Amino acid sequence: MKTIMIKTHEVWLATLMAGFMSKTENKQVLFDFSDILFRHFTWLENELIELGESYNYDRDAIPIKVEKLSDLLHDIEKRLTEIDLQLLSSPDKHLNERITTDIKYMRDVLVHMKDENITAFGMERKFPGIDLTVEATDALTLFLFEETYKEYELIMIYNYLKAHSSDAYLNRIFQILIDESFFHLKSFGDMGAKMGILAVPRIVMKELYQVEDVVQFLKDGINEELAAKEECKKLSEAVAKDSPELEKFFDFINHQENYHISLMEDALKHFEKVNNG
């Protein structure tokens, strides 16, 4: 079961990356499939928790550098087939059936997907239709690497916290934060692909999601969101002269952080209230 969860984690990310690479109608299908695979990942995780098995979010590196989308799609199909086979020996037959029927459909769609040439790894660092200065390009590059990882990290942390909490109020907040981070991850991943610098976020260290002190984690998280607001503001200013469109986008992301801060403050208050009886 543990291996299936790790393999599902890897194929979820591979499919998400394929979505970033695509420039056609394939994109939305791949994003939808990656969302489904993420849900499989959470089901398998819950199964492990119910069985009392220890687990973590370690995984192998995921090679995604391809010239044709079909190369990555073949790899995804192979990964899905492997998961399907491993599910045969897994104890929860209902869960297996749900996942297997999804996999069967996804594999069928992937086989018939139209091929595309991939430009997501060219390192040109040119945003289509926008001429940025060298300084603005460097700032945007660094921001995309930092924040793509950060959003993935947040998804994993909130997901772990949610999986280990039975508090409905907190879980509602964690789920909203997961959804928000997915939106940011998809936005930044898409931008990375357009700039030719798409990369799989690195593996998150255990101690980040296996949170021992949730109160401290939330307090640190609020400070990190405040720092992220500053980064968005700086980036918005750096690109403002060359691209009002990007300026508006980073202002929008900056303002979204206010909502995240407010949710984390709510979670903090609730957690302290519950812990203090």
Residues that bind other proteins (CB under 8 A): 58, 60-61, 65, 121, 123, 125, 138, 141-142, 145-146, 149, 197-199, 202-203, 205, 207-208
Structure tokens at 243: 């691209």
Q: Which is nearer to other proteins, 5 or 106 (CB)?
A: 5
CB of 70 vs other proteins, minimal distance in Å: 22
Q: Which is nearer to other proteins, 131 or 138 (CB)?
A: 138
Structure tokens at 178: 């997961």
Question: Closest by alpha carbon to 24, among 92, 113, 94?
Answer: 113
Q: Which is nearer to other proteins, 63 or 244 (CB)?
A: 63
| Rounded Cα–Cα distance for residues 76 and 106 (Å) | 10
Q: Are residues 50 and 42 in contact, defined by beta-carbon separation less than 8 angstroms?
A: no
Q: Which is nearer to other proteins, 67 or 108 (CB)?
A: 67
CB of 228 vs other proteins, minimal distance in Å: 13
> Residue 66's Cα: distance from chain center in Å?
20
CB of 225 vs other proteins, minimal distance in Å: 15
Q: Is the dihedral of CA 48, 53, 57, 61 positive or negative?
A: negative
CB of 107 vs other proteins, minimal distance in Å: 28
CA distances 190 to 52, 65, 221, Å, are 38, 15, 25
The full length of the chain comes to 277
Q: Which is nearer to other proteins, 174 or 209 (CB)?
A: 209
CB of 214 vs other proteins, minimal distance in Å: 16
CB of 151 vs other proteins, minimal distance in Å: 14
Q: Which is nearer to other proteins, 33 or 221 (CB)?
A: 221
* Residue 7: count of CB within 10 angstroms of its CB: 19
